[in-house]
Amino acid sequence: MYTMRFILRHLNSIGVINKFDSFLLRYHTKSLKSNHTLKHYLESGEPIKALLNFRHRFRKSPSFIDSFSVLFAIKASSAQKGSSFDGRQIHTIVRKLGFNTVIHIQTSLVSFYSAAGDVDDARQMFDETLEKQSIVLWTAMISAYNENHRSVEAIELFQRMEAKKIELDEVIVTVALSACADLGAVQMGEWIYSCGVERKRRMGMDLTLRNSLLNMYVKSGEVEKARKLFDETMRKDVTTYTSMIFGYALNGQAQESLELFKKMKTIDQSQDIVITPNDVTFIGVLMACSHGGLVEEGKRHFRSMIEDYNLKPREAHFGCIVDLFCRSGHLKDAHEFINQMPIKPNAVIWRTLLSACCLHGNVELGEEVQRRIFELEHDHVGDYVALSNIYASKGMWDEKWKMRDRVRKRRVPGKSWIELGSIITEFVSGHDDNDKKQLMMGEISEVLRCLVACMTSLDCVVENF
């Protein structure tokens, strides 16, 4: 910028300012036109064309690449699923052109690496950013952890940001609450919410934030706290009702869920507040019917969604109906429903039926379902295990061991979390030999011995009593 001003003053002093103005006009016009093309491709859902256009421009005339061009290219790379090669090349271009200190580009690169699943690279980009006062940058990194199922690290980073007294907004608090919901960390979520309200009073009245807190209660199994917050929320929207409907459904309270859905469509309309259920609401309703074994009611709500509300069913809705049939033991109906679906069923839907075949010992249908799953995904360990269990339930031991021998990969280790105040500890059922975390086997064994001793003494007390 300062170099450009110096040149401008120099040209003005020698009387060629008009020529320089003409050059600047051509430069900016061409750059704006090219950036408009990139933006058009992105908005049209054609990220590949945007990347090809950017690559052609860079090879032909790198001088016409500006920070906006790079931003559009990074967004195009983020929209590409599977490979992070193009984005890494653009990151190299960013360094080459000297844009690596532009905060918006740094934030976009964090989001790109997150979308590619390269969370460690996203964190390295975050750490290399010298300007750490941007709430957008922190939000991008915390979201990266959250979206890649590393919720503990998301919360730890939020705590670090809070310690630096960086001003919070509704978005960052919502993201942090989502991480707490995944972990079931209720106390931590309440602390995060209180931080937002205390640091920014108006956030306490923000409906989006209250809905996020409600969603955290719901996913953590705190139905009573969720209902209390729901009742205290004076002006509710469809998200408020949907979260509470989900809460009841997830916790096995099917009737409460369906009653609230009925209230949503009637009482609030009488108060001149029209709340129309959306497709997500119907996922919660269908889930409630599935968990409650209400087959006919579930089918009725599925038809109502299409006919009364003109909502197009998605994979999640079809999956709920399949689960509804499977939980009720109607495997034939589930199979026929899948074959008649207007969209191609994914592996999750077939896997739901496979689990039901395992539960009911249906070997013939289980083998067919497994073949359909293998056409979509052939390396999921659980599919082999499920079919081997079906064989075992029928005493077909040779087939069981043949299926077990086909397993080439280990299951992903199960995880659990324990929340103690401001500390969340993660436990893993298995570990990798290359894991850097040291297992505290001695401490774990000592705790188990104490636990056994306490349980034994309790048995003695009960027996004597």
Summarize the confidence of residues 245-272 as an average pLDDT: 83
**Average of per-residue pLDDT across 283-296:** 94
Q: Which of 36-45, 163-172, 228-237 has the weakest average pLDDT?
A: 36-45
Res. 284: pLDDT tops 90: yes
Q: Which residues of 85-122 are buried (b: 16+ CB within 10 A; e: fewer)?
A: ebbbebbebbeebebeebebbbbbbbbbbbbbebbebb
SS3 content of the chain, % helix, strand, coil (to 5): 75, 5, 25
Nearest CA to 416 out of 190, 129, 152 is that of 152
Is residue 49 classed exposed, middle or buried when 0-12, 13-18 and 19+ CB atoms within 10 A define those classes? middle
Query: Which has more pLDDT, 26 or 362?
Result: 362
pLDDT score at 199:
63
Please, which pLDDT band fits residue 203 given cuts at 50, 70 and 90?
low
Share of the chain above pLDDT 70, in %: 73
CB 337 within 8 A of CB 321: yes
Task: Choose among 308, 314, 258: nearest CA to 286.
Answer: 258
In single-letter form, the type of residue at position 13 comes to: S
- Can you tell me the mean pLDDT for 275-290? 94
At residue 25, the pLDDT reads 41
pTM of the model: 0.73
For the chain, give the percent of residues with pLDDT over 90: 33
pLDDT number for residue 129 = 86
The pLDDT of residue 425 is: 64
Average pLDDT over residues 423-444: 58
Q: Which domains does the chain have, with CATH numbers?
A: 1-131 (1.25.40), 132-234 (1.25.40)
pLDDT band at 447; cut points 50, 70, 90? confident
Query: Where do we find the tokens 């602390």?
Result: 191
CA–CA separation, 94 vs 317, rounded Å?
43
**Please, which residues have CB within 8 angstroms of residue 395's CB and are 6 or more apart in sequence?**
none
Separation of alpha carbons 286 and 284, rounded Å? 6
Q: Kindly report the number of other CB atoms within 10 A of residue 316's CB atom.
A: 15
Can you name the residues that pair with 417 across neighbouring β-strands?
426
Q: Taking 50 as the threshold, does the pLDDT of residue 433 lie above it?
A: no
Q: Which of 210, 215, 158 is nearest to 182 (CA)?
A: 215
Q: Are 288 and 302 in contact (CB under 8 A)?
A: no
What's residue 28's pLDDT? Answer: 46
Distance CA 316, CA 312 (A): 11
Average pLDDT, the chain: 79
pLDDT tens-digit map of 64-111: 677 788 888 888 887 776 556 677 888 888 888 888 788 888 888 898
Residue type, 420: L
Chain segment 104-156, per-residue pLDDT in tens: 888 888 988 888 888 999 999 999 888 888 889 999 999 999 999 999 999 99
User: What token pair was written down for 116?
Assistant: 């590619």
pLDDT band at 27 (very low <50, low <70, confident <90, very high): very low
Highest mean pLDDT among 26-40, 156-170, 420-434: 156-170
In this predicted structure, the answer to whether residue 241 has a pLDDT above a threshold of 90 is yes
Bigger pLDDT: 48 vs 268: 48
Q: If you average pLDDT over residues 318-325, what whole number do you get? A: 95
Interacting residues of 187 by C-beta distance below 8 A, sequence separation 6+: 419, 421
pLDDT at 20 (0 to 100): 40
The residue-averaged pLDDT of 38-66 equals 77
CB atoms within 10 A of CB 147: 18
